[in-house]
Structure 1
Amino acid sequence: MIRIRGIVFRLHPLFVLLMLLSVLTGRFAEIGTLFSIVLLHELGHLLMALRFGWTVREVKLLPFGGVLEVEEAGSVPAKEEVLVALAGPLQNAALAGLAWLFGQAGLVDPLWTGDFIAANALIALFNLLPILPLDGGRMLQAGFSLHIPYHRTLLWSARISLLFSFAVVCAAMYPLTRGGLLHLNLLVIGLFLCASNWTYLRNVPFVFLRFLVHRAKRSEARIDGGTLAQPIVVSDQRPLSSVVRLLMKERYHLVYVMNRGSVSRVVPEGKLIDGFLGSLTNGHADLRFFM
């Protein structure tokens, strides 16, 4: 673990395992190159996140990329999330381009150049798969958040990630059906992604609760900014837990509470969230709490 300007850089245990295996097999150059590519890939994410003013707590390096732990999780604009996610693969593209130029100029060994370009292409393309926490999964989640409520966004991005993680496991085992060899590295990564996304799916309620806490803190700022509100129309009998699940990440909402066919009250989203968070301890469960 290394701390630089308050940001912790850490190797994931899966990467440590891969490094130990490389020691046993004598593939020091390959693991050194992989570590450099992954680190530079993740620095692309980090620099873009810092450019947007995100508060980065930790950078965790995995064999295929990394994960940024940020304070603003779930509260930053989808556009920023997409640009931060793209910064990693674009960094790989830039590295591959530089290697090609150096190879054309005769400054580096052509064999090394080809391997380096292939490694960058593999890391970039793998990270574009629609699997969390890969870059493609982050972009998929950001895209969903523009069109459907955030709670549903979390559920569907986790489900799709789990499906594609299982597909990675199947791809690793497929050569066995043709008389070939098992892709052990791919199998390990696929199993890790399956476990990671299964855990994420189970933790969606906690991830969503964290989103609501951050959202409540920023509601007043949205009002001060003169944002347009998107209405949500619900019955006063509806549980608060189901109403907050209708909130969209990129919208500010006013909730129109209906009683016998007429509007009985208009509740700002900030008050709605505060009421829901309070209901977790005081037992008020539906919109009649605001009457």
Structure 2
Amino acid sequence: MINIYGTQYRLHPMFILVILTSILSGNIGELITLFAIVFVHEMGHVVAAKNFGWEVKTVQMLPFGGVAEVETHRNTSAREEIIVAAAGPLQNCWMIALVYLLQRTEMIDLAWSDYFIQANLMIALFNLLPILPLDGGKIVQALLSYKVSYHKSLKYCAWNSLLMSILMIAYACTDIFYSGVHLNLLIIGVFLLYSNWYYFRNIPYYFIRFLVNRELTFAKMKVKKEITKPIFANSSSSISEIVRCFKRDQMHIIYVLNDLGKVQAVIPEKRIIQTYLINPRKNG
């Protein structure tokens, strides 16, 4: 474990397994190269996150990237989420371009540079898969939150990530009776499946945290003079149904309609949130 500018970097057990395998097979050079690529990839995320004022506590290094523990002290905007997620694969792009140019000048070893480019390309493309907690999954979730409510974006992306994790595991086992199991892909698929099952089970917690931090989001939006978006609800609608309509990066005013479609009450979202947080289960 190392600490760089307040962020702790730790090796995930999967990466330790790769290190042991590389040592036993004598591929130390490839191991060092892979570690350097993953480290630069993660530094891209960390620098972008800290630029937005996020507190990055720890980064667990995996063979294909990393998982960061972030504390933002507020709800981050979809735009910030997209930029931070994209910052990792962008590091792979400039590294590929640099080594490709050096190849043309014959200043570096051709075999090593080919491996370096292939490893960068593999890590960048794999991280762009639309599966949480990969960068592609985070980007898709942020983009989806522009169109649907925050609660729906959590559920849709969790279900999609679970499905794609299962498909990855199934693909890793397709040649089990011929060439055997693709062990690396199987291990990654199982890791992603477990991560997303954990994520899915904790959606209620993530949603509560989203609501609790709305107060700081209000202050941010008032500075930017954001337009408040209306939500129209029937008098029979539950508090839970209403809060699940809240969208990221938007404030809301709730218009309660009677059976004739006329406005019966106008309620600010802050009051709705306060009522919901008193007893989320009862209001469900």
Query: Same fold by TM-score, threshold 0.5 exceeded?
Result: yes
Asked whether the 8 Å contact 2:75–2:216 carries over to 1, the reply is no
Q: Distance in 2 between matches of 1:74 and 1:182?
A: 44
Query: 2:158 matched to which residue of 1?
Result: 158
- Segments of 5+ residues of structure 2 without an aligned counterpart are none
Query: 2:254 matched to which residue of 1?
Result: 255
Secondary structure of 1:93's counterpart equals: helix
Query: 1:219 matched to which residue of 2?
Result: 218
* 2:275 corresponds to 1:270: no
**1:74 CA drift (Å):** 7.8
Q: Distance in 1 between matches of 2:151 and 2:74?
A: 11
Q: Distance in 2 between matches of 1:233 and 1:255?
A: 6
Asked whether the 8 Å contact 1:150–1:248 carries over to 2, the reply is yes
| Cα displacement string for residues 5-44 of structure 1 (whole angstroms, at most 9, x for unaligned residues) | 3222222222122222323333222221111111011111
Q: Distance in 2 between matches of 1:225 and 1:34?
A: 42
Question: What's the TM-score, normalizing by structure 2?
Answer: 0.93
**1:52 CA drift (Å):** 2.2
Matching of residues 127-146 of structure 1 within 5 Å:
127-146=127-146
User: AA paired with 1:171?
Assistant: Y
Query: 1:126 matched to which residue of 2?
Result: 126
Asked whether the 8 Å contact 1:216–1:274 carries over to 2, the reply is no
Q: Distance in 1 between matches of 2:255 and 2:219?
A: 19
| Cα displacement string for residues 205-246 of structure 1 (whole angstroms, at most 9, x for unaligned residues) | 111111111113322442454221111111233221221111
| Cα displacement string for residues 64-83 of structure 1 (whole angstroms, at most 9, x for unaligned residues) | 11122222388212122112
**In the comparison of the two structures, how many residue pairs are matched?**
283
Asked whether the 8 Å contact 2:74–2:217 carries over to 1, the reply is no
Q: Distance in 1 between matches of 2:171 and 2:278?
A: 47
Query: 2:189 matched to which residue of 1?
Result: 190
Query: 1:228 matched to which residue of 2?
Result: 227
Q: Distance in 1 between matches of 2:162 and 2:58?
A: 24
User: AA paired with 1:254?
Assistant: I
User: AA paired with 1:72?
Assistant: T
Query: 1:75 matched to which residue of 2?
Result: 75
**1:253 CA drift (Å):** 0.6
Q: Distance in 2 between matches of 1:74 and 1:85?
A: 18
User: AA paired with 1:131?
Assistant: I
Asked whether the 8 Å contact 1:219–1:270 carries over to 2, the reply is no
Q: Distance in 2 between matches of 1:186 and 1:74?
A: 36
Which aligned runs of 4 or more in structure 1 are off by greater than 6 angstroms? none
Question: What's the TM-score, normalizing by structure 1?
Answer: 0.90
Asked whether the 8 Å contact 1:219–1:269 carries over to 2, the reply is no
Q: Distance in 2 between matches of 1:275 and 1:165?
A: 37
RMSD of aligned alpha carbons: 2.0
* 2:112 corresponds to 1:112: yes
User: AA paired with 2:35?
Assistant: F
User: AA paired with 2:160?
Assistant: I
Residue 225 and residue 109 in structure 1: after superposition, are their counterparts in 2 closer, same or farther (change >3 A)? Answer: closer
Q: Distance in 2 between matches of 1:224 and 1:128?
A: 33
Asked whether the 8 Å contact 2:233–2:255 carries over to 1, the reply is yes
- Segments of 5+ residues of structure 1 without an aligned counterpart are 287-291
Q: Distance in 2 between matches of 1:159 and 1:247?
A: 20
Farther off after superposition, 94-103 or 261-270:
261-270
**1:280 CA drift (Å):** 4.0
Q: Distance in 2 between matches of 1:250 and 1:221?
A: 10
